[in-house]
Amino acid sequence: MKPRRLRLLPVMAAALSALAVPAHASVNSYRFLHVTIDTPWHIFLFLMMGIFAPFILMVVLMWRNSTRKRELARDLASGKPGGAATPPSSPQPPPA
């Protein structure tokens, strides 16, 4: 059987650690998080980036796709076969 002192060691360690931490530090979250008057603005800017980034990406992709469609329409109107956006056609097999 374990000696009595070794069984009480975890209990004593927990009691000492509870006494070492000041009680007001765990209750006062404003002191722990360092909340200032600028904190709401930081939160707003962080969320604004996360919300507007997909919209910016959507605008870029729409602009890129519209220029591709414009080039295809221009090529078809000028009489060029195929176009920049269409893949090259495969050659026909020779007649047997």
At 24, the pLDDT band (50, 70, 90 cuts) reads low
Q: Give the number of domains in the chain.
A: 1
Note whether residue 54 is domain-resident: yes
Range among 25-29, 40-44, 54-58, 90-94 rated most confident: 54-58
- Which whole number is the average pLDDT over 12-19? 69
Q: How far apart are CA 22 and CA 31, in angstroms?
A: 13
Note whether residue 81 is domain-resident: no
Note whether residue 9 is domain-resident: no
Q: What is the pLDDT of residues 55-94, one digit of tens each?
A: 999 999 999 999 999 998 888 888 876 555 555 566 677 6
In terms of residue numbers, what domain contains 62?
A: 15-76
Q: Encode 27-43: b = buried (16+ Cβ within 10 Å), e = exposed.
A: eeeeeeeeeeeeeeeee
Note whether residue 25 is domain-resident: yes
Note whether residue 94 is domain-resident: no
Note whether residue 70 is domain-resident: yes
